[in-house]
Structure 1
C-alpha cells in the first residue's frame, strides 16, 4: 500500500500496449505530467490530449478506479510526496489567485479543516486519547516543518503530564538515542506530512520494534507513517506554494490536547493555579490595569 501511487504509474506504463489510441494519449500525459493531471478535471484533461471527457472517465475505469475523482486522488498523493519545492511552486501557482492570495489561502485552509472533520474517525481519536492517558512515558517526534506542531503538542502535554519527552534531533542516530528506552508501556507520537521525513519514519519503526504504541499524525492512510503506526490521526494538508499548509493538523492537535485536558481536569487546574502564582511573581505576562489604562486615555 505504501507505494500505491508509484504502482499506478507502473500499471499505466505496463498497460499502454493494450490501450486505444486515445487512451494511450491520456496515459502518456499522466506519466509525463502527473503533477498537472492531478489538478485537471476530466474535461480539461481530455481537451489537453485531444479526447472526449467520457474517454478520460472510461480510462479511469479501465485502470481500476470507480470514477475519475478516485484516479485524481491517487495522483495528488503522488505529487505531494514526490514534488520538489520548486515544482510545488509551479503547480500551486496555477491554483492560487494572485489577485487575492489572502482569500485563496484561507479558503483552502478552511476546506482542509472541513474535509478533516468529515473524514477523521472518532473511534480512532478516542483510542489515541486512551493510549496517551495510560502511557508510562510519551515521546513526541516532529522535524522540519512539523517541528512547530510537535513543540506545540509538547508544550501543552508538559502542563498535563510529567512523563513527556519532546525529541529534539538533527540526525537519525540522535533520535534513536532519545527513544532508546521506549518499551511496550510507552507511546510514541510521530508527526509528518509530505514530503515525509525519513528520520521520523525510521524512529517510529524503531519504536514499534521496541513494543511501544505508535501514534502518527499525518495526512493519509497511505502515508508511510500510517503504515508503521498502531493508530493514525488523519488531517488534511496541502501545498500553499512552497509552504506546507498545516492548519488542519494543528486543529486536530488542539482537539487532542483539549480531550486529554478534560480527562485530567483537576491536574490541569492545579498546574495552572501554581503557574499563575509563578507568572505573577516573575512578571511573565504584561498585566492589563484597567485603572491605569483609563488614566492614560484621559491624559491623551
Structure 2
C-alpha cells in the first residue's frame, strides 16, 4: 500500500489489512483489483464501481464480489470507510495517484536526484509518527531483538542491527554466517522482537519464517516495499518504503531513512542508559584502535 503503516488486529480492520489477509485466496482478476486499491486506498472514495472496474480491467461484478469478500456488504460501504480514513487524516489515505511525477527536461543526475528525494518524501510523508514510537518502544522493551533479511534486504538488516547494537545489548542479525533462521529464532517468545526487512525480490523462506514467528506469538515489525502481499498480516507493525523510480534498479534511500528514523527514536527513548551504552562502545573502539582517528 504505497508507504503506509499496517496495524495488527482489531474488529474494524482497515481496507488494506483486509486485502493482505485474503490476498492468497484471490483470483487473478481480484489480485489486479487488490493491487490497484493498495497503491492508493485514499482514491477509492473518488470512484464508482464502474470506474474502478475500468481502471483495473475487470468486470463490475468482480468489484462487487471483491469487496464482499473483504467483509463489506456493498462497495459504497468500502468507499465510506476510505472517505472516513481520509477525513481523519490517515497518511495512507491522504496520498493520491494524482501526484505530479513529470520528468520535464531534467538531465540524468537531476532526474536521479529528484527520484531519490521523491521516494524519501513519499515514504516519510505517509508514516504515522505514533507507529514509529510504538516500534521504538518495542525495541527498547524487548528481551532480544533479531533483525532478519535476505538478499538485498540483508544489507539493510545489517545496517539496522549495527545501529541498534550501539544502544542496547542482545541484537542479532539473521541469517549470519552459516546459520539458518531456525538456529537463531528457536526459543524466541512474546518477550522478544523480530524486525524483518523484506524488500522485493523476496525469497520463499521469508514468508515461512514470518508464519512460524506468528504462530509462536513473537512480535514482528516488517519493513518492506509496496509490492508486499500477505506478509503485513503476519506483522504487528508494517512500514512500507518506496523503492521504485524511473531509472534502473530499486532505490533503498527511503528504507535507509526509515531505519535511521527508528534508531534515532530508540536513542531518545533510551535516554541516559542508551547514551552510556553508546559511550562504552566508543571507548572500546578507541582502546582497541579499531577506527581511524
1:95-143 Cα deviation digits (max 9, x unpaired): 9999833322221111111111221122222221222221111111011
Instruction: Indicate whether 1:168 and 2:163 are aligned.
Output: no
Q: 1:11 to 1:135 in 2, by over 3 A?
A: closer
Instruction: Indicate whether 1:137 and 2:144 are aligned.
Output: yes
Q: Distance in 1 between matches of 2:53 and 2:210?
A: 40
**Equivalent residue, structure 2, for 1:248:** 254
Q: Distance in 1 between matches of 2:212 and 2:195?
A: 12
TM norm structure 2? 0.64
**Equivalent residue, structure 1, for 2:242:** 236
Instruction: Indicate whether 1:60 and 2:60 are aligned.
Output: no
**Equivalent residue, structure 2, for 1:276:** 282
Instruction: Indicate whether 1:203 and 2:209 are aligned.
Output: yes
Q: Distance in 2 between matches of 1:281 and 1:97?
A: 54
1:231-266 Cα deviation digits (max 9, x unpaired): 112222215655221111110110000000111132
Q: Distance in 1 between matches of 2:104 and 2:177?
A: 37
Comparing 4-13 with 205-214, greater Cα deviation is found at: 4-13
Structure with higher RCO (Cα < 8 A, 6+ apart):
2
Higher CA-based Rg: 1
Identify unmatched segments of 5+ residues in structure 2.
1-18, 40-49, 64-74, 80-92
Question: Does the Cα contact within 8 Å between 1:238 and 1:246 map onto a contact in 2?
Answer: no
Q: Distance in 1 between matches of 2:246 and 2:186?
A: 36
Q: 1:262 to 1:199 in 2, by over 3 A?
A: same
Q: 1:198 to 1:97 in 2, by over 3 A?
A: farther
Among residues 176, 190, 200, which one is paired with 1:184 in the alignment?
190
Query: How much is the aligned-residue C-alpha RMSD, in angstroms?
Result: 3.7
Which has the larger helix fraction?
A: 1
Identify unmatched segments of 5+ residues in structure 1.
14-33, 39-54, 75-94, 288-300
Q: Secondary structure at the match of 2:180?
A: helix
Instruction: Indicate whether 1:217 and 2:236 are aligned.
Output: no
Question: Does the Cα contact within 8 Å between 1:146 and 1:191 map onto a contact in 2?
Answer: yes
Q: 1:276 to 1:132 in 2, by over 3 A?
A: closer
